[in-house]
Amino acid sequence: MSKKATPVKKSYNFDVTWEGLLDNKEFQRVFLSDVLEKYIVAQRWYGGKSSTLKYIELTEYFRIQQHDEVYYGLLLEVNFKEAFYQHYFLPIAFVSDERFAKKDRILPISIKGQEGFIIDATNLEAFRKLVFERIMTAEPNDLTKVRYHKGESFDALEYQSSRFMGLEQSNTSIIINDQYVIKFFRRIYADKNPDYEMSRFLSDKKGYKNTPRYMGSINIIDSENVNITIALMQELVPNNGDAWDYMLVELKKVFDNLEQKGINIDALPDTELFLRLQIKDVPPEIIDWVGLNMFLKLQKLAQRTAEMHIALGSEFEDTAFEPTHFNGDYTVWLKNRMLYQFQNRLNIVENNLYKLEGLAAELAKGFLEQKNEIRRRFVNFDWTKLKGERIRIHGDYHLGQILVKEDDFYILDFEGEPESTIRDRKVKQPPLKDVAGLFRSFHYAIYATIFNNEASFPFEQEQLFKAGEILYHYFIGVFLQTYTDIVQEHNLNIGYNQERVFMLKYSMLEKAVYELGYEMNARPEWAVIPLEGIASIMNEAN
């Protein structure tokens, strides 16, 4: 749940009905200036905490209703003093019974003499029930302003119960009947949300089984005729947690084995980065250390990743999903994006170098010394030599976006990279960019295991890092073999071997540079992970 807003003691009186309240200019003024700013900045889903709020503007409002039961959806434009803005969705309800206004009170108000509160409507079970039923009974080809859509596989029973899913940063998810999840998007964009587009495409059009099935959605057609997604409903996949937590548990066992099995780290055989490996190619010493099960799980994850990309790359009617080749326009877009991001990260490292120590400081200095070489790596993207295809991809693919269900994996959250614009998230990319993101996530999990348990491992940090890098190489090799075999078998063109290695290096370098900004700002002690990743790629290239 979100934090409580600062209580507003004053009660506002308006001599209008609830149905007419949003048309009242005085209410809009009071609501937007006196009340909503304090409320918004306290919410967990608010993404402008590092900037200075200037004012909030109500750009659209619409009814979410069934028969005589009426709620309002607000589209808010939050303007910042730094000369940019963000858009948010806020559903509101009026309640006169204090029992329904225990949380997220936005405004004490009297409407036509009736005392009550305006609250975030997601806190009301009646609102959640209404939304579920509107999706469940949606008519095909809805052309109204508020468009409810029901998925092809949605054959629901009547509403029984609902509850919040848990602590989410950017959205609010509600579990319905312990079978479905309705995700209300808080940060919204002037276009269909990629999570909605990808979920519906994979589920309804391609029958991809290893993502939660698309059940329905709500989209708004705004005054400029732009289609804006505000909610997505999917099946609830029973699971054992996400792959990040799973990997941390398994990696702890792997590093414990170093001591328990008396393994000499210096004697462990290494392998070349990006060398494709079948399990039978992995040396017995590595299998003995890591265990066979871990490599079998990697093969299964590679299979599910490959199947996702095959589904996304097999469309030839819908131009939004039709595969395409590399060209000059894509190259200009990519280089501009990368050079801007890289310069931003350079500035962050230079300004915060004093926060680093030990290996992180050493790697950061190496990063700064190599800046021209790294910049050249980003600029030297010659699309004319690339024969592979670009497709719609996940775009923010990492272990935290994957659910573990017994011995299988389910892929979630196709919204894309949080820093990217909605347009950038829909640009067709090489599928190996997703693979590179997952490889970076493997790297993170290995180092997180070392950092979180270092005191319990009887080895020097340098030795643990050495073991971790060896492990990382084998993880990549086994995953890559299975993934490549499957996508090639289904004629998804990811290029020839030299092209694949180039694309993985390029994308992993891009991802590590992206990560560096977050770590330098949020937890400098972890900056060693992306810095090590950058150094590894650059050394491999040399």
Residue 301 belongs to a domain? no
| Domain of residue 359, CATH code | 3.90.1200.10
Dihedral sign, Cα of residue 315, residue 316, residue 317, residue 322: positive
Alpha-carbon distance of 141 to 458, in angstroms, equals 64
pLDDT at 2: 43
* 156 vs 46, higher pLDDT: 46
Mean of pLDDT values over 127-134? 96
**pLDDT value at 3 more than 60:** no
The rounded radius of gyration (Å) of the Cα atoms in the chain is 25
Say yes or no: 50 and 20 in one domain. Answer: yes
Say yes or no: 18 and 145 in one domain. Answer: no
Instruction: State pLDDT tens for residues 39-81.
Output: 888 888 998 887 899 999 999 999 999 988 999 999 999 999 9
pLDDT at 168: 66
Q: Which of 63, 66, 93, 87 is nearest to 75 (CA)?
A: 87
Helix H or strand E encompassing 114:
strand 114-120
Say yes or no: 160 and 116 in one domain. Answer: no
Residue 113 belongs to a domain? yes
Question: How many domains, in total, are found in the chain?
Answer: 3
Mean of pLDDT values over 359-388? 94
Percentage of residues in the chain having pLDDT higher than 70: 96
Say yes or no: 227 and 257 in one domain. Answer: no
pLDDT at 104: 72
- At residue 5 the predicted structure's pLDDT band, cuts being 50, 70 and 90, is very low
Residue 376 belongs to a domain? yes
- At residue 154 the predicted structure's pLDDT band, cuts being 50, 70 and 90, is confident
Direct distance between the N- and C-terminal alpha carbons of the chain, in angstroms, rounded to an integer: 49
- Domain end marker among 120, 144, 178: 120
Give residue 181's domain range.
Answer: 127-235
Say yes or no: 167 and 208 in one domain. Answer: yes
String of DSSP letters for 166-178: ---SSEEEEEETT
Q: The tokens of 289 are what?
A: 């250390």
Dihedral sign, Cα of residue 370, residue 373, residue 375, residue 378: negative
Residue 288 belongs to a domain? no
Residue 410 belongs to a domain? yes
Strand pairing report for 105-111 and 12-14:
parallel
Say yes or no: 113 and 178 in one domain. Answer: no
- Domain end marker among 120, 152, 167: 120
Mean of pLDDT values over 388-407? 96
- At residue 10 the predicted structure's pLDDT band, cuts being 50, 70 and 90, is low
Say yes or no: 200 and 216 in one domain. Answer: yes
Say yes or no: 172 and 40 in one domain. Answer: no
Q: Which residues of 48-81 are buried (b: 16+ CB within 10 A; e: fewer)?
A: beeeebeebeeebbbebeeeeeebbbbbbebeee
Instruction: State pLDDT tens for residues 201-244.
Output: 999 999 999 999 999 999 999 888 999 999 999 999 999 999 99
Instruction: State pLDDT tens for residues 398-445.
Output: 999 999 999 999 999 999 988 888 899 999 999 999 999 999 999 999
| Domain of residue 208, CATH code | 3.30.200
Say yes or no: 226 and 155 in one domain. Answer: yes
Average pLDDT, the chain: 92
Say yes or no: 112 and 216 in one domain. Answer: no
Question: Which class for 490: exposed (0-12), middle (13-18), buried (19 or more C-beta within 10 A)?
Answer: middle
Say yes or no: 337 and 469 in one domain. Answer: yes
- Domain end marker among 120, 136, 155: 120
Residue 7 belongs to a domain? no
Residue 278 belongs to a domain? no
Residue 48 belongs to a domain? yes
Mean of pLDDT values over 518-526? 89
Instruction: State pLDDT tens for residues 246-285.
Output: 999 999 999 999 999 999 999 999 999 999 999 999 999 9
Mean of pLDDT values over 458-485? 96
Say yes or no: 96 and 193 in one domain. Answer: no
